[in-house]
């Protein structure tokens, strides 16, 4: 199993239930954790939360930005994207950074 990290903020799912986003760095996947009505912790696939993904590639076909949004067809200017920036050296991934902001302003976020 990968290394899981808490998301920066607790968020709410479609049913307006507070959830915590967990990110698996090894497999580049996001999951949601929440408590059931019985108080048990459950983990669900992020597809229940993330509804839109955006990608930008470099000239070597490496993903350099990946954006996640909880709304279908969100405007690129919406500032609620969770964006991952990937940095490469000789085509090898060497760094991942995370920020929240608009897709159109992704290069200028606080990296």
DSSP string for 5-37 = EEEEEEEE-TT--EEEEEEETTTTEEEEEEE-T
- The confidence band for 81, taking pLDDT boundaries of 50, 70 and 90, is very high
Helix (H, G, I), strand (E, B) or coil at 47: helix
- 105 vs 12, higher pLDDT: 105
pLDDT at residue 17, rounded to an integer: 64
pLDDT at residue 4, rounded to an integer: 41
Largest Cα span, the chain: 51
Using the predicted structure, report yes or no on whether residue 95 has a pLDDT greater than 80. Answer: yes
- The confidence band for 10, taking pLDDT boundaries of 50, 70 and 90, is low
26-75: pLDDT as tens digits: 666 667 677 766 777 777 665 556 778 899 999 999 999 999 888 888 99
């Amino acid at each position: 199993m990968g290394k899981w990290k808490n998301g920066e903020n607790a968020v709410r799912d479609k049913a307006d239930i507070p959830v915590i986003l967990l990110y698996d760095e090894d497999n580049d996947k996001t999951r949601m954790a929440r408590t059931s009505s019985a108080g048990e912790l459950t983990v669900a696939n992020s597809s229940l939360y993330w509804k839109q993904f955006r990608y930008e590639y470099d000239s070597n076909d490496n993903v350099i930005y990946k954006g996640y949004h909880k709304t279908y067809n969100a405007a690129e200017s919406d500032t609620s994207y969770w964006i991952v920036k990937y940095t490469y050296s000789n085509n090898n991934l060497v760094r991942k950074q995370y920020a929240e902001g608009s897709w159109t302003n992704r290069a200028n976020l606080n990296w």
